[in-house]
Amino acid sequence: MLSDHERRFLLTRRVGHLATADSQAVPHVVPVCFTISQGTLYITIDEKPKRVAGPALKRIRNIERNPMVAIVVDRYHEDWTRLGWVMLRGRAEILRAGTEHDRAQELLCSRYRQLAAMQIAELPVVAVRLERVTSWGNLAVGEDEVDYDGQA
C-alpha cells in the first residue's frame, strides 16, 4: 500500500499527528510516536507523568466509539521545495495484550530510546490497519535525514 518513497519518508520522521473523532464527530488531534509494520501503524500509550489513574485518554475513548482515524506525518522546511506529507487513514483498534501488542511495543522501543526507558509493556497500543494512503510534495530523503527504523 505504501510506495517505497512514502515508506522511506515515514522512516525518517519522528512525529506524526493522530486525528480521531468522537461519536459526535468532534475532532481531536495529538502528536504521536509511531512505527509501521506490514500494513499496520502502531502507536503506544506511554507513561503520563502528570496523570494519575482515571478515565482513558480521549484518543482511546474516541477510537472505542469511532475507529476511523487519520495520521499525518509531514516535513516543514523554510525551503518550500522540501515540503511534503503523507496521510494514512484506516480503522484503529486498541491492543491491550497478546503477541501483536508485545511485538508492537518492541518495535516502538527500538525506534524511540525514550520509550525503552519507560514501563510501557502493560500499556495499550493503537493499531491502525491502513486502508488509504495519500501523499503530497517532496518526499525525497536528504543526506541529513536519518532512517530511524529498519523494521518497516
Q: What is the CATH number of the domain that holds 27?
A: 2.30.110.10
Residue 86 included in any domain:
yes
Assess contact for 49 and 119: CB atoms under 8 A.
no
Residue 151 included in any domain:
no
DSSP classification of residue 75: E
Can you give the pTM of this predicted structure? 0.89
Residue 93 included in any domain:
yes
Q: Which stretch of 44-48, 60-64, 90-94, 119-123 has the lowest confidence by average pLDDT?
A: 44-48
- As for how many domains the chain has, the answer is 1
Cα 77 from chain centroid? Answer: 21
DSSP classification of residue 82: G
Assess contact for 86 and 8: CB atoms under 8 A.
no
Residue-range definition of the domain harbouring residue 90? 4-137
Residue 144 included in any domain:
no
Q: What pLDDT, on a 0 to 100 scale, did the predictor assign at position 18?
A: 98
Residue 149 included in any domain:
no
Q: What pLDDT, on a 0 to 100 scale, did the predictor assign at position 47?
A: 59
62 Rama sector, left if φ>0, alpha if ψ -120 to 50, beta otherwise: alpha
What is the average pLDDT score of the chain? 90
pLDDT tens digits, 68-115: 999 999 999 999 999 999 999 999 999 999 999 999 999 999 999 998
